[in-house]
Homo-oligomer: A and B are copies of this chain.
Amino acid sequence: MSDGKNGLQLRSLLKKSGELELSLVNISTPEPGPDEIVVRVEATPINPSDLGLLIGPAEMSTAKVSGTKELPVVTAKVPEPALKALAARLDESMPVGNEGAGVVIGTGSSDAAKALMGKTVAMIGGAMYAQYRVLRAKDVLELPAGTTAAEGASCFVNPLTALGMTETMRREGHKALVHTAAASNLGQMLNRICLKDGIGLVNIVRSKEQAEILHKIGAKHVVDSTAPTFMDDLTNALVETGATIAFDAIGGGKLAGQILTCMEIAINKTAKEYSRYGSSVHKQVYVYGSLDPRPIELSRAFGMAWGVGGWLLFPFLQKIGPADGAKLRQRVVAELKTTFASHYTKVISLQETLQLDNIAIYNKRATGEKFLINPNKS
């Protein structure tokens, strides 16, 4: 283990030539300013949102490893059309890793910074796939005594995204919600929130196995989009819950439109008179992921009161403001080992993060598979 004066940082570099290069660079740790702290990163998850920056559109079937065991280098080809959309990041070596947790091993001179010495903290802000990370004391979340870095590694992205969904539902006037790819880590978390808070949740999954995962944790409404009765099953669940907003991780294909269509049918089951424009109840699908990269196809059998749009955590947090954001974070810390517990299938080092067999697994984004990086794993 290094002394903290310098350490390895994972970098993703997309070259104008059309080559992606993943590598580890040895960088010296900046001296913390008065209000800053130095954190030894011990746990940082690989989220789908990290894979966008880490691997992006590269074709990993073309990947090769070179370099040394200590400093491996992975290269892979990026298709020409994808390069155009990524012009702004070309030839710029980018650090990766949205969130993580670790132990404070150095501080600046301020009281706030010094108070954190030796504490385990959770962090967000990028460049977490690194041995050390310098941040402002006020930007980290101190974890309660008895909480490990691994337990606190996913304090932000999944918990705040799940809470952001139920918050958005309330703020936009809906009383229940739909979630797709619902057996994911995030989806399970959302089920625990909804069960605890008494919110109606319709889970859409793509297999019997995924349905089984959710039934086991007590999910009430689970519909399988591969079942021949999908549209009827979904409509029934929408009638039972009254859900008129959905959060969709899939993106491509017909699913978003099918959800809107079933919502419209469910609403009209109680409608009293004909409206040529369909029901006046607003139906919303927010797309927050892109598990299916195909175009979204909307058949518009759902009247005129509808919306489909992108949804992201950070704009949501900006919209609700720091005070309401702090309340959500406090809830995450309070329920970190229950509602917001994350489960990992493997803990890997920075070097192991660049092994092709590991990349092949975590880049699949398969339900149930989730990797945790420990950059200081010995």
A334 within 8 A of B: no
Give the one of A88, A276, A277 with max B CB within 10 A.
A276
| B-chain residues with CB within 8 Å of residue A274 when the two chains form the complex | 86, 88-89, 92, 94
Interface flags for A277-295 (1: CB within 8 Å of B; 0: not) read 1001000000110100001
Query: How many copies of this chain?
Result: 2
In the complex the two chains form, what is the Cα distance from A305 to B314 in whole Å?
11
| B-chain residues with CB within 8 Å of residue A56 when the two chains form the complex | 276
Are B306 and A307 touching (Cβ within 8 A)?
A: no
Are B303 and A310 touching (Cβ within 8 A)?
A: yes
A271 within 8 A of B: yes
| B-chain residues with CB within 8 Å of residue A251 when the two chains form the complex | 300
Q: How many residues of A contact B (CB 8 A)?
A: 42
**CB nearest to A299 among chain B residues:** B295
A112 within 8 A of B: no
**CB nearest to A90 among chain B residues:** B274
Tell me the smallest distance from the CB of A296 to a CB of chain B, in Å.
4
A73 within 8 A of B: no
A349 within 8 A of B: no
| Given the contacts A274-B88, A274-B89, A306 and B310 also touching, CB distance less than 8 Å | yes
Tell me the smallest distance from the CB of A80 to a CB of chain B, in Å.
14
| B-chain residues with CB within 8 Å of residue A85 when the two chains form the complex | 301
A297 within 8 A of B: yes
Are A309 and B310 touching (Cβ within 8 A)?
A: no
Tell me the smallest distance from the CB of A122 to a CB of chain B, in Å.
22
- Checking B86, B290, B298 against A295 with a beta-carbon cut-off of 8 angstroms, the contacting residue is B298
- Checking B87, B89, B311 against A304 with a beta-carbon cut-off of 8 angstroms, the contacting residue is B311
| B-chain residues with CB within 8 Å of residue A290 when the two chains form the complex | 300
Tell me the smallest distance from the CB of A183 to a CB of chain B, in Å.
23
| B-chain residues with CB within 8 Å of residue A277 when the two chains form the complex | 52, 312
In the complex the two chains form, what is the Cα distance from A56 to B278 in whole Å?
13
A273 within 8 A of B: yes
**CB nearest to A86 among chain B residues:** B274
In the complex the two chains form, what is the Cα distance from A235 to B130 in whole Å?
40
Considering the complex, which residues of chain A in the window 42-79 have a beta carbon less than 8 Å from any beta carbon of chain B? 52-53, 56
**CB nearest to A311 among chain B residues:** B304
A241 within 8 A of B: no
In the complex the two chains form, what is the Cα distance from A232 to B290 in whole Å?
27
In the complex the two chains form, what is the Cα distance from A327 to B45 in whole Å?
55
Are B310 and A280 touching (Cβ within 8 A)?
A: no
Give the one of A288, A303, A309 with max B CB within 10 A.
A309
**CB nearest to A271 among chain B residues:** B88
**CB nearest to A307 among chain B residues:** B309
Interface flags for A246-270 (1: CB within 8 Å of B; 0: not) read 0000011000010000000000100
Are A295 and B88 touching (Cβ within 8 A)?
A: no
Considering the complex, which residues of chain A in the window 295-336 have a beta carbon less than 8 Å from any beta carbon of chain B? 295-301, 303-312, 315
Are B301 and A298 touching (Cβ within 8 A)?
A: no
Give 9 A-B pairs besides A304-B312, A307-B307 with Cβ atoms closer than 8 angstroms: A53-B276, A56-B276, A92-B274, A251-B300, A295-B300, A297-B298, A306-B309, A306-B310, A307-B310
16 contacts between A and B (CB under 8 A): A52-B276, A88-B271, A88-B273, A89-B276, A287-B300, A290-B300, A295-B299, A295-B300, A296-B297, A297-B297, A298-B308, A304-B310, A305-B310, A305-B315, A306-B310, A308-B309
